[in-house]
Amino acid sequence: MTTKTNRFFASQAWVQGAWAKDVLLEVDASGHWSRIVIDAAPQTVRDAERLAGPVLPGVVNAHSHAFQRAIAGLTEQGASSGQDNFWSWRQRMYAVAQRITPEQLEAIATMLYTELLAGGYTQVCEFHYLHNASAHAPQTSALDMSMALVRAAQRSGIGLTLLPTLYMRSGFAAAGLRPDQQRFASTPDSIARLVQDVQTATRDMAHVNLGVALHSLRAVTPQALTQLVAFADAQGLPIHIHIAEQPQEVQDCIAHTGQRPIEWLLAHAALHPRWNLVHATHATQAELDGVRASGASIVICPTTEANLGDGVFDYTGYCAQGGSWSIGSDSHVSRTWNEELRLLEYGQRLTRGQRNVAAQSGASTSSAGNMLQALLQSGAASTALPLSGMQVGQRADCVVLDAASPALCGVPAAHVLDAHVFSSPGSAPLGVCVGGQWQAHSAHGAVARDYAATLGQIFA
């Protein structure tokens, strides 16, 4: 839904890293916060729309493969070989990737993006490599597939940073792609053209912007990486790359380059704050120190990394000194940011035998508070948009929590965020605002029917 009101009042809102009370929020005509007043006097908020629960900033989902929502829950039975790991999961994922038409991708992504809104995300970075025609969609163009995602974002109301992804070869020593990867085939020139074509097609659309992605070091040549990065830098676009997700990837990189993946990237690419390194699960302290010094961010995807058996990111080794990081839901086995943060913290507790690990890596004594602030501070890095929380000049994104939900009912105000992250299950928000406009966030009705019908077609 849309509202004509540009003034809101929250009895409790997360502002600049802490809960504030009696907060007046004003939105300008461009959909950005223009005024924020803490402890606002009653006469100041008399004509403001009163929000019905605690208010949190919207969060960026910095890593998404929308089509993989279609297989959530469908890869949880062991492989016949008995060796079930990331690589066997990938083969099952490829089988679905070969089938999806633009219409099916739109239905899947619309369902997903609506769910992400309900999970507190207001912007999603779509790491998109389903570019080409397949036997099930023989007339499909790369623009068709990209615009299916754009339409899904527009239908749901979520912001979209589309990341057309360069994918050239199946491995470090390969000359090209395998037959089951041909749908991903691209070149630096084709990605640059696609970015420009989507920019033209979306010029008048709200909350859609572009970046670029490199699938991984194993999937692109050094020359192609340099070429696409130069294009992105000339336009000021965010740059994303999968890196050091699996031990085999690290071993292959050492075998073919003499360096570990992040070590190679630090030596051969001038990393800067628009770089986003996805996973970095298997990194040394020296590599993490190098990423932190460059100003680049790491995108951690805890539920996917757990689901695929990737490993546990070295949160303390990277974050104790202020490394920039964000969260992604990747394969979408989970679609809420509080669950991603909960698993991130619990993974650290399990491996270290300690509690409240994230409380040691920030200004707050709250693990949830420090993690949320890290997400907000990295919002601009992953999207190149002003998405750093409830501050003047930032986009007016927020989520109204349901204080009467079982997870929050009776919780003292100072612990609402802690309970939102660590007391599960949560509940649907009362409202989600993107750019000053309230959005529907229920994945029911026509959206769910279209999604169910689409899965019936894919898995028939």
CATH code of the domain in which 416 resides? 2.30.40.10
Residue 450 located in a structural domain? no
DSSP per residue, 313-375:
--HHHHHTTT-EEEE--BT-S---HHHHHHHHHHHHHHHHT-S-SGGGSSSSS-HHHHHHHHH
pLDDT tier for residue 83 given thresholds of 50, 70 and 90: confident
- Nearest 5°: phi and psi at 429? -70, 160
Are 74 and 26 contained in the same domain?
Answer: no
How far, in Å, CA of 116 to CA of 137, rounded? 27
Q: Is the peptide bond before 425 cis (omega within 30 degrees of 0)?
A: yes
- Nearest 5°: phi and psi at 210? -120, 150
279 in active site: yes
Are 269 and 280 contained in the same domain?
Answer: yes
Evaluate if residue 2 carries a pLDDT over 80. no
Are 207 and 242 contained in the same domain?
Answer: yes
Stretch 156-179: mean pLDDT:
97
* Structural tokens at position 286: 């020296």
Name the one residue in this structure whose structure tokens are 């380059």.
257
Spatial CB neighbours of 91, under 8 Å, sequence gap ≥ 6: none
Evaluate if residue 81 carries a pLDDT over 70. no
Evaluate if residue 399 carries a pLDDT over 60. yes
Residue 460 located in a structural domain? no
Provide the domain limits for residue 417.
7-56+391-439
Are 91 and 183 contained in the same domain?
Answer: yes
Evaluate if residue 80 carries a pLDDT over 90. no
Distances (CA, A) of 52 to 32, 255, 281, 400: 21, 57, 40, 7
Are 176 and 71 contained in the same domain?
Answer: yes
Task: Provide the number of structural domains found in the chain.
Answer: 2
* CATH code of the domain in which 165 resides: 3.20.20.140
pLDDT tier for residue 440 given thresholds of 50, 70 and 90: confident
Low-confidence winner among 71-85, 194-208, 219-233, 342-356 (lowest mean pLDDT): 71-85
Instruction: Fill in the amino acid letter for 208.
Output: V
Stretch 291-318: mean pLDDT:
97
Domain stops at, among 383, 403, 428: 383
Q: How crowded is the C-beta side of 271, counted as CA atoms within 13 Å?
A: 25
Q: How crowded is the C-beta side of 26, counted as CA atoms within 13 Å?
A: 10
Q: Give the 3-state secondary structure of residue 31.
A: coil
Are 196 and 291 contained in the same domain?
Answer: yes
Element of type H or E holding 33: strand 33-37
pLDDT given at position 4: 54
How far, in Å, CA of 360 to CA of 37, rounded? 30
How far, in Å, CA of 160 to CA of 27, rounded? 21
Are 189 and 42 contained in the same domain?
Answer: no
pLDDT tier for residue 405 given thresholds of 50, 70 and 90: very high
Instruction: Fill in the amino acid letter for 326.
Output: S
How far, in Å, CA of 30 to CA of 235, rounded? 22
Q: What percent of the chain has pLDDT over 90?
A: 90
Are 330 and 420 contained in the same domain?
Answer: no
pLDDT given at position 427: 81
Evaluate if residue 3 carries a pLDDT over 60. no
pLDDT tier for residue 5 given thresholds of 50, 70 and 90: low
pLDDT given at position 110: 97
Q: DSSP letter for 151, please.
A: H
Element of type H or E holding 197: helix 188-201
Evaluate if residue 426 carries a pLDDT over 90. no
- Catalytic annotation, pick one of 330, 397, 402, 441: 330
Instruction: Fill in the amino acid letter for 460.
Output: A
DSSP per residue, 45-108:
GTTSEEPSS-EEE-EEEEEE-GGGGGGTTSS-S--TTS--SHHHHHHHHHHHHTT--HHHHHHH
* Structural tokens at position 402: 């349901």
pLDDT given at position 1: 37
Considering the chain, what is the average pLDDT of its residues? 95
- Catalytic annotation, pick one of 128, 207, 279, 282: 279
Are 365 and 403 contained in the same domain?
Answer: no
Q: DSSP letter for 158, please.
A: -
Low-confidence winner among 25-39, 78-92, 120-134, 308-322 (lowest mean pLDDT): 78-92
8 A C-beta contact, residue 15 and residue 36: yes
Residue 453 located in a structural domain? no
Stretch 305-333: mean pLDDT:
95
Residue 81 located in a structural domain? yes
Residue 270 located in a structural domain? yes
Q: What's the angle, vertex CA 60, arms to CA 50 and CA 30, rounded to 5?
A: 55
pLDDT given at position 386: 97
What does pTM read for this prediction?
A: 0.97
How far, in Å, CA of 435 to CA of 332, rounded? 24
Evaluate if residue 154 carries a pLDDT over 70. yes
330 in active site: yes
Evaluate if residue 428 carries a pLDDT over 90. no
Number of neighbours of residue 186 by Cβ within 10 angstroms? 25
Number of neighbours of residue 28 by Cβ within 10 angstroms? 14
Are 273 and 320 contained in the same domain?
Answer: yes
Q: How crowded is the C-beta side of 416, counted as CA atoms within 13 Å?
A: 23
Are 172 and 296 contained in the same domain?
Answer: yes
Low-confidence winner among 47-51, 384-388, 437-441 (lowest mean pLDDT): 437-441
Stretch 35-52: mean pLDDT:
96
- Number of residues that this document lists for the chain: 460
The residues pairing with 72 across neighbouring beta strands, listed in sequence order, are none
Q: DSSP letter for 395, please.
A: B
Evaluate if residue 79 carries a pLDDT over 80. no
